[in-house]
Structure 1
Amino acid sequence: MTHTSRRRKLPLRKRIEVADEDGWTHITTSGVSAHRAIQPRDYKLLPAEPPLRLTIDELKKQYETHRQRWRSSSAGDALDSVLRSRAASSVGSIDRIICIGLGSPSGFVRGGWVDRRSVSLYQLAALESVIEFLAGPSIDATVKQVLAQDPVFNDLDKELLHFLGITVVDHPAAFDLVNDQTFLYCPGAEILHLTKLLPYNPALLLGGPLESVSSENGVLAAFAQTRNSLQLPPFEPNQHAFWNTRLYWKEDAHRSQNVPCDK
């Protein structure tokens, strides 16, 4: 009997975009022993490519699953707690929320190779919880605008964001809308973005961490030195979604300078 040797074809695996502890973007394949490589900076961002059969109703179902996991997490509880107590004075000054760098909740980016959908859905769920918190009757904040900007948003993403009451603006319009009454929501933003945004002195920032690079970047250092901050606890369903993410808020001049914080 003749035996033939066939080379088995290994399935191609989508790469997942994650950020390391210094805030830089990394790409990894979806496996336990996945290799990490730094993504080149010269790529052009295009609208993400959703699966052919994905509908807005199915995307809403996926979002609801991620939303429930965020709401029941210790990271979600920690964010709500610090906004309600230690960052309360900054919360009261907020009149707009601007989300930059969310990524696509529905599609693959980098020419269809990078799957960041779950990360984006969790980050969007956390954003919705912030919106609902600031709209609560016990919160002294008047949020007039909730905006989101990312060049990779496709039509499904925009429809989902509209469903949640979030207005999509074209890049780079949102950069000029940040001011000292802004909650800057940037868990997916890179250092390059934050260097452009933080000189506008936003009242609250969810992103970073700034500390690991602030000594090399005067803009980040100046911002971090005038803020309290708290790192969110690990988000167990997907730790890459909030990898070392911190909430930064302004020091309250009317309160003790010895308020304990993780900084």
Structure 2
Amino acid sequence: MPPTSHRRKKHIPNKRTEILDDDGWTRITSTTTSTGRRPSTTTTPNDLGSSSAAGHPPPSLSGSLPARDPMPARPGSSLSSMLAQFRGIESRWQATELCKTLVHVLEKEILTGDGRNIDPISTCVMLGSGSFCGDAAHWIDRHDSAYFQLAAFRTVVHTVERVSGQRVCAYAQEPKYNDLDGELLDALNVTLVDHPRGFHLLDEHSVAYSPAAEREVEAAVIARKPRVWLHRSLDYLLQEEEEQGSQTRSAAVQFAANHEHMKLPALDVKNFPFHGSVIWWRKGYQRS
């Protein structure tokens, strides 16, 4: 090709930034390009198309959510050290009032409500925990938060399995996961998947857990209508004027009308990984 005077665009390193919004919820923003190895996942073209084939519309997500943007692991990280750190945090989590309340509402209100004959939950998906060992310049250390959220997710999975007596498929989707994160999840029987498969896995027999979710993630979860959603209040969406994001607001109004919800106790730990936690579950759900 002939020479050109056009200069190539400089690569801009990825940064993951936390922003505290007006309602006190910590949001995570990021660019879509970074370095790092890609962990193995179970995503295939057939997997990505299976939900649409089953009659489920794909989630409406913009290109700002990367399928994979792994954060380099902190020097010295290893699977054994990560498992040890997780086990310590999981023990702390299990002793909290928040954990005990979560188990109680799952057992008494959601999974076995009033002795009804209820279809079992088959799938649990965690969306956006952040990396468990990632490290980058100008990045806020949220490892403890990620471990606490993983512990909460495992509590949900184990409670569902204990009550139903059936095995539950557990998945986690997060663009910042690296190889070591994938190994940790695998050791804990959680399968790492790439965007958008985590959304495609959600249906009426599923649980979604989306800590610190961005608005477009919320919209995608609402569109999938999971039976249970561990998230936060949707008041900020429900109170919007109709002309502001009317499609998302309309979907949120319908979701709230069809779901019960309960605010969970606060938990004062580093970076507030459970700020304003609310659990949602479908009203009057029983076997058809």
* TM-score (normalizing by structure 1): 0.77
Q: Give the Cα–Cα distance (whole angstroms) in 2 for the partners of residues 21 and 108 of structure 1.
A: 28
Q: Give the Cα–Cα distance (whole angstroms) in 2 for the partners of residues 253 and 167 of structure 1.
A: 27
Q: Give the Cα–Cα distance (whole angstroms) in 1 for the partners of residues 123 and 16 of structure 2.
A: 34
Q: Give the Cα–Cα distance (whole angstroms) in 2 for the partners of residues 246 and 218 of structure 1.
A: 20
What code does the residue aligned with 2:159 have? F
What code does the residue aligned with 2:101 have? A
The structure 2 residue matched to 1:221, chosen from 247, 253, 257, is 253
After TM superposition, give the deviation of residue 230 of structure 1 in Å. Answer: 1.0
After TM superposition, give the deviation of residue 141 of structure 1 in Å. Answer: 5.8
Paired residue for 2:227? 203
The structure 2 residue matched to 1:55, chosen from 78, 85, 110, is 78
Q: Is the 8 A contact 1:103 1:120 kept in 2?
A: yes
Deviations 1:64-102 (A, max 9, x none): 111011000011011011001111248753111111111
Q: Which runs of 5+ in 1 are unaligned?
A: 1-13, 28-38, 255-263
Q: Does 1:189 align with 2:190?
A: no
Deviates more, 1:141-150 or 1:157-166: 141-150
After TM superposition, give the deviation of residue 62 of structure 1 in Å. Answer: 0.9
Q: Give the Cα–Cα distance (whole angstroms) in 1 for the partners of residues 213 and 165 of structure 2.
A: 25
Say if 1:253 and 1:161 are closer, same or farther in 2 by CA, change over 3 A.
Answer: closer
Q: Is the 8 A contact 2:126 2:209 kept in 1?
A: yes
Deviations 1:104-135 (A, max 9, x none): 111136x5523221111100011111111112
- The residue correspondences of 1:78-227 to structure 2 (distance < 5 A) are 78-89=101-112, 92-108=119-135, 113-136=139-162, 139-140=163-164, 142-216=166-240, 217-227=249-259
Q: Percent identity?
A: 27
Q: Give the Cα–Cα distance (whole angstroms) in 2 for the partners of residues 125 and 236 of structure 1.
A: 16
What code does the residue aligned with 1:17 have? E
Q: Give the Cα–Cα distance (whole angstroms) in 2 for the partners of residues 17 and 101 of structure 1.
A: 13
Q: Does 1:65 align with 2:97?
A: no
Q: Is the 8 A contact 1:186 1:206 kept in 2?
A: yes
Q: Give the Cα–Cα distance (whole angstroms) in 1 for the partners of residues 22 and 266 of structure 2.
A: 13
**Cα RMSD (Å) of the superposition?**
2.6
Paired residue for 2:278? 246
Q: Which runs of 5+ in 2 are unaligned?
A: 1-14, 34-65, 241-248
SS at the partner of 2:199? helix
Q: Is the 8 A contact 2:172 2:190 kept in 1?
A: yes
Q: Give the Cα–Cα distance (whole angstroms) in 2 for the partners of residues 114 and 237 of structure 1.
A: 15
Say if 1:201 and 1:15 are closer, same or farther in 2 by CA, change over 3 A.
Answer: closer
SS at the partner of 2:189? coil
Q: Is the 8 A contact 1:18 1:240 kept in 2?
A: no
What code does the residue aligned with 2:253 have? A
Say if 1:75 and 1:238 are closer, same or farther in 2 by CA, change over 3 A.
Answer: farther
The structure 2 residue matched to 1:76, chosen from 99, 124, 134, is 99
Q: Give the Cα–Cα distance (whole angstroms) in 2 for the partners of residues 125 and 244 of structure 1.
A: 17
Paired residue for 2:3? none
Say if 1:131 and 1:64 are closer, same or farther in 2 by CA, change over 3 A.
Answer: same
SS at the partner of 1:242? coil
Deviations 1:51-73 (A, max 9, x none): 11111111111111110110000
* TM-score (normalizing by structure 2): 0.70
Q: Is the 8 A contact 2:125 2:172 kept in 1?
A: yes
Paired residue for 1:17? 18
Say if 1:253 and 1:99 are closer, same or farther in 2 by CA, change over 3 A.
Answer: closer
SS at the partner of 1:235? coil
After TM superposition, give the deviation of residue 253 of structure 1 in Å. Answer: 6.5
SS at the partner of 1:248? strand
What code does the residue aligned with 1:196 have? A
Aligned residues: 226
